[in-house]
Amino acid sequence: MQTYRYLLKKLLFMIPILLLVSVATFILVDCTAGDPARVMLQGSTGNPSEESVQLLQQELGLDQPKIVQYFQWLGNVLRFNFGNSYVSSKPVIWELLNRVPVTLGIAILGIIIVLLISIPLGILAAIRKNTWLDHVIQIFSVFTVCVPAFWLGLGLLILFGIVLHSMNIIGGAVGIWIWVPALSIALGYTGQYIGLLRDNMIDVLEKPYIKAAKVRGINPFRIIMQHALKNAFIPLLTKLGITFGTFLGGTVIIESVFSINGIGFYVMESIKDKDIPVIQAFVLLISFTIVILNLLVDLLYAYIDPRITLR
């Protein structure tokens, strides 16, 4: 019952957050992208007349006050109608959904790579605290955090595309090579997870129940994997949801580097073309995804550790 109350509370709390995001998105895009009617006509006719611009403004409802435009737009969004792309004239929702599998694949694989690298290195750094191995792992962590995903992606593209000739430079990071852009976006976060897991593991390994398990002669590997790792990793779950949402948004850069026709690449092209409906839809959907992921992570957090009370 308490879980249901918590869930209802969080869902109600989501409403003002998403409304604020929608207002900010509408205002920022409206201020920076220019007149949508003029943008649309410039794409089709090159140099539109003022009369044709005004006619299209009336047709799109852009001659209405901004507050009216916002609520009309919000009403359409609540029905999952994000309008049509100015470039393709196709519904934005379908343009995005067609590209979801590629982007989702990169984000999921990125999370897997983060866990595969950070968990063993975080454990090693903790059990070999203050040794040369710990220092090497920490240097690696700092390096991955400091180097932007753009430069990591560019470096991997040069390595596999130009030096090794293993992958096509343009649009080649698909299929079995999708791990390359996933690695580019993941490496920047492995350092954060290694550091957090190392600190948590060091703290957990000093707990009385871990020392008691050692005294009883339980296998050290079992102590680490079954007892220490579980309790050390639980606090990282809250960060995992945010990281996944960040990966979805971060594909804007990575997909552009590797010329992958996913959501990120499509949004980057839409920004260049001032395709307002696409930009607005992307920001709203990413915000909604992050909020939902945080809710799911909270529920998972409580499920894994029953001692945690949801309020």
**CATH number, domain with residue 223:** 1.10.3720.10
Residues 258, 170, single domain; the answer is yes
Handedness of CA 202, 241, 238, 150 (dihedral sign): positive
Residues 37, 162, single domain; the answer is no
Residues 127, 234, single domain; the answer is yes
Residues 74, 132, single domain; the answer is no
Residues 53, 167, single domain; the answer is no
Percent of the chain with pLDDT over 70: 85
Most confident of 3-7, 14-18, 117-121: 117-121
Structural domain of 222? 100-304
Task: Write down the H helix ranges in the chain.
Answer: 2-33, 36-45, 50-60, 66-78, 92-97, 100-127, 132-146, 149-157, 179-205, 208-215, 220-222, 229-258, 263-273, 276-304
Residues 268, 131, single domain; the answer is yes
Is the confidence at residue 45, as pLDDT, over 90? no
Residue range 88-131, pLDDT digits in tens: 888 999 999 988 888 888 899 999 999 999 999 999 998 888 89
Decide if 292 is inside a domain: yes
Decide if 143 is inside a domain: yes
Residues 162, 280, single domain; the answer is yes
Average pLDDT of span 221-242 = 80
Residues 53, 168, single domain; the answer is no
Q: What is the pTM of this model?
A: 0.80
Residues 61, 143, single domain; the answer is no
**3 band by pLDDT with thresholds 50, 70 and 90:** low
Residues 133, 243, single domain; the answer is yes
Residue range 253-297, pLDDT digits in tens: 888 888 888 898 898 888 888 888 888 899 888 888 888 887 787
How far apart are alpha carbons 221 and 301 in whole angstroms? 24
Contact between residue 269 and residue 43 where contact means Cβ atoms under 8 Å apart: no
Number of domains in the chain: 2
Residues 44, 123, single domain; the answer is no
